[in-house]
Structure 1
Amino acid sequence: MASIVPRPRKSGEITYQVKWRQDGEWQGEKFGDPDPEIGRQQAEQFQALVEAHGNRWPHGWVKGHGFVEPDTDPNDPLLTDFATRYVDRLTGIDERTREDYHREIRIHFALLQHTRTDGAVRPATIGNLTQDDVTDWVRIEEAGERNPDDPEGWLRRPADPKSIANRHGLLYCIVQSAIEASPQLRTANCCSRTRLPRADNEIQEEMCFLEREEYQRIAAELTDPDARDLADWLVGTGMRWSEATALRISDLSLNTDRPTVSVQRAWKKAKTGTPGGAFYLGPPKTKKARRLLRLSSAQVDMARRLSTGRRHDDYLFRAAKGGPWKHANFYNRKWKPAVAAAVAKGFPKAPRLHDLRHTHVSWLIAARIPLPAIQVRLGHESIQTTVDRYGHLVQGLDDDIATAVEAAMGAPAPTVVGLRPVASA
């Protein structure tokens, strides 16, 4: 509880000090006026503010100065307002992505604040945001917020490093647009030197790699032949679920010396409330995800069997009623029971559906397929993505590398004829 202590001065004037303990330390603010009654009223009002803030300094109050009005420059809009307009004007993204960006602004960018050099906290604007403000925000994202009513619960869970990096990347682009605006709203990007949490500092859900015999143990529990076909295709091609289930008969090219399948569309999440369902067909995840995949003879046989008697616009993989597979249905009704049955028989792993893509890569690396070739097959936009996710699997080539280095270093130096050292004077 805050208290008011009168402090008479030698002049006869009375000031009133509001005192309270905050984090174990005494805090205080003085109020005075030639009219003692007015000074007393000011102290009582401030006392009520302190108590309303849980015996802490009121938000935005500067000791000795009171509340300092926030900037009202119309040419320096609030960061969240500027960010919202930026996202509204973005081109080349689907509406679901735009909706995701708006959610990031509402929930996470709203945590950004500007702290002045005098310690006063102000709403973040596109012009006043500093590198320290961005660093403070990253720490808030990393720490999360506990539920005061439940020590084990969270009001906002800690964000993982990847999510923080993605949000920081969006913020960087927004601030950069203010630099490039006309008229210019900033001269430097306060996000350019942010030290982000390292992704390898957290324990993430590990990828599960299956040996061929291990995959066969799970596949044997897929009693539905259509489900087995789809699982075999996923692990045999490394395609994403959204790509494989979007394939049509017309995407196949089987009657050639190099039979292929063309990946040119994928299922995407629709904007919330969109009529027609939660998913729609759109382009693949990245530009390089639009690709041709060479098919094995077994995959060609499967594709011919599934496409016989079908129209060119039919889906290659069809659920019981003839439509495309839904991820939730396949996972809950086919994949999950199959894994559970294998585990009940002593199988030691619990792979997810996406682990079939990881398994495909592990098989390619074991066969010494170079990472750039794997990047193309998976449709990764950058080789860095392939290296970051699967580079640790290349350790199997260490012996070959060591042998090559030893051979190179152990070779005798070539003899150069006709050269003589320069005699010293």
Structure 2
Amino acid sequence: MAGPRRRQKGDGGISEYRTRSGPRFLIKFAVTREDGTTRVVLTRGFASRREAGAVLRAEIRKAELGEWVEPSKQRLDAYLAEWIQTQRLSPSTRASYLKNIRLHIDPHLGAHRVVRLTGPMIDTWMRTLEADGRADGRGGLSARTVRYVFTILRSALGDAVTQGRLAVNPTDRSTPPTPAQARPPEMQAWTAPELARFLRWADAHDADVAMGWRLLAATGMRRGEALALRWRAVHLVAERIAVRRSVGTVKRKGAGEELVEGPTKTGQSRVVDLDAGTVAALRTYREARARASPDLVRDTALVLSTLDGTHLHPERFSRRFTAQVLRARKAPGEDQVPAIRLHDLRHTHATLLLADGVPVKVVSERLGHASATITLTVYQHVHPGMGRQAADRFAALLAG
């Protein structure tokens, strides 16, 4: 029986070596530079001989076609600083990437050369973040945050592969937290009576800011979309609003923070129909704003704003809602409403509509989801009850 074929000159080679995590493989091959000199290239960290062989063949093929690029000695922190400048990102996303690179990637991996990064090295980094990754020294990061930071690094190193700086993306050989482990906190939603009870309480105690809570609950808008809504996008006669913009907080190291207005999360505008009660509340609210200052109801004015017409701060807006819910829960004579976050008003809107049998596609369009699949995934907990409702409706059809 013939043994394995010996590699010929120019085929390169594969060698096994031992690590604490088990056997790993390296590849070795020679390339001819443009000046005619020869360089022997070593790349380590492959988890299997098959994986090493696939990369070796690809690298030799590049060398034969003249497409092989000599690995850079650039450090990861320098590469990431260069990479982020090439990305088309919204201001808030760019600020988030920069913050996470500064706090969670550079201190741990920044000094390493890009070409020296390995899957086990990235695994060790993620486990460190999970155990002790908080910038304030108070423990580890959540699996959700670690996965988010991992996706930033994965995207950056993926571009390095595309540009020929890396043979393979080392994050392909690492084990980030799974989507299940990185699942967001369980959403909360009020029942229709609970929502109605809170809105009545808010109207009676702070009618001005209560309009914000009603608008979010009645439309399913995101916080930033509501705070960027202008009167020219509110059509009271047609009973609808046009959601076109969003505002968010952008924090920059050494430069404080600023509120930046831009497109919606999906980059798409949408029209959301309003119920008669919300239209009536908007009319009353607009009249009150006009009495305070005609400038507050101009077409270009923000619907929800400070008295001088500027954007409300998104995070303070959320804290104000939390404080009002706490006050409502303590109010004498009021039935208790569960404590929820401001964003849960959006979940409440979707949950109530889906549970009442409104088609998923309609709810998806109101929420501004990129597809109905997202709506189905996020609100799958509502669907079992909808299935029972569908079965009962079918039985009613057969009965007559």
Query: Do the structures match in fold with TM over 0.5?
Result: yes
For residues 100 and 315 of structure 2, what CA distance do their matches in structure 1 show? Answer: 25
1:87 to 84, 88, 96: 84
Higher relative contact order (CA 8 A, sep 6+): 2
Query: 1:315 corresponds to which residue?
Result: 302
2:227 to 245, 255, 264: 245
Contact 2:161 2:169 survives alignment (8 Å): yes
Contact 2:218 2:349 survives alignment (8 Å): yes
The equivalences for 1:157-168 within 5 A come to 157-168=139-150
Contact 1:217 1:342 survives alignment (8 Å): no
Q: Secondary structure at the match of 1:214?
A: helix
Indicate whether 1:187 and 2:174 are aligned. no
1:113 to 1:231, Cα distance in 2 relative to 1, 3 A: closer
Contact 1:261 1:292 survives alignment (8 Å): yes
Contact 1:226 1:318 survives alignment (8 Å): no
1:234 to 1:220, Cα distance in 2 relative to 1, 3 A: same
Quote how far apart the aligned CAs of 1:375 are. 2.3
Indicate whether 1:364 and 2:353 are aligned. yes
Query: 1:155 corresponds to which residue?
Result: 137
For residues 180 and 332 of structure 1, what CA distance do their matches in structure 2 show? Answer: 44
Indicate whether 1:281 and 2:277 are aligned. no
TM-superposition CA deviations, 1:268-295 (whole Å, max 9, x none):
213437989631322222224x211122
Contact 2:321 2:342 survives alignment (8 Å): no
Contact 1:218 1:342 survives alignment (8 Å): no
1:326 to 1:390, Cα distance in 2 relative to 1, 3 A: same
1:146 to 1:84, Cα distance in 2 relative to 1, 3 A: closer
Query: 1:339 corresponds to which residue?
Result: 326
Quote how far apart the aligned CAs of 1:207 are. 2.0
**Range moving further from structure 2, 382-391 or 207-216:** 382-391
Indicate whether 1:132 and 2:114 are aligned. no
1:360 to 1:191, Cα distance in 2 relative to 1, 3 A: same
Q: Secondary structure at the match of 2:323?
A: helix
For residues 249 and 187 of structure 2, what CA distance do their matches in structure 1 show? Answer: 24
Residue type of the alignment partner of 2:366 = R
Query: 2:379 corresponds to which residue?
Result: 390
Residue type of the alignment partner of 1:363 = L
Quote how far apart the aligned CAs of 1:243 are. 1.1
Q: Which has the larger radius of gyration?
A: 1
For residues 363 and 343 of structure 2, what CA distance do their matches in structure 1 show? Answer: 16
TM-superposition CA deviations, 1:44-72 (whole Å, max 9, x none):
xxxxxxxxxxxxxxxxxxxxxxxxxxxxx
Contact 2:246 2:265 survives alignment (8 Å): yes
Q: Secondary structure at the match of 2:115?
A: coil
Unaligned runs of 5+ in 2: 1-69, 291-296, 396-400
For residues 100 and 134 of structure 2, what CA distance do their matches in structure 1 show? Answer: 20
Quote how far apart the aligned CAs of 1:113 are. 5.1
Indicate whether 1:380 and 2:369 are aligned. yes
1:325 to 1:145, Cα distance in 2 relative to 1, 3 A: closer
Indicate whether 1:209 and 2:209 are aligned. no
Unaligned runs of 5+ in 1: 1-72, 115-122, 148-153, 407-425
For residues 333 and 178 of structure 1, what CA distance do their matches in structure 2 show? Answer: 44
CA RMSD, Structure 1 to Structure 2 (Å): 3.4
Quote how far apart the aligned CAs of 1:216 are. 2.5
The equivalences for 1:18-97 within 5 A come to 75-94=72-91, 96-97=92-93
Query: 1:24 corresponds to which residue?
Result: none
Quote how far apart the aligned CAs of 1:379 are. 1.5
1:142 to 1:405, Cα distance in 2 relative to 1, 3 A: farther
2:339 to 341, 350, 364: 350
Quote how far apart the aligned CAs of 1:323 are. 4.4
Greater percentage in helix: 2
Contact 1:221 1:342 survives alignment (8 Å): no
Q: Give the TM-score of the pair, scaled to structure 2.
A: 0.68
Query: 1:33 corresponds to which residue?
Result: none
Moved over 6 A (4+): 273-277, 401-406
Total equivalences in the alignment: 315
TM-superposition CA deviations, 1:194-251 (whole Å, max 9, x none):
3322354479643221112112332233212122222111111111121112211111
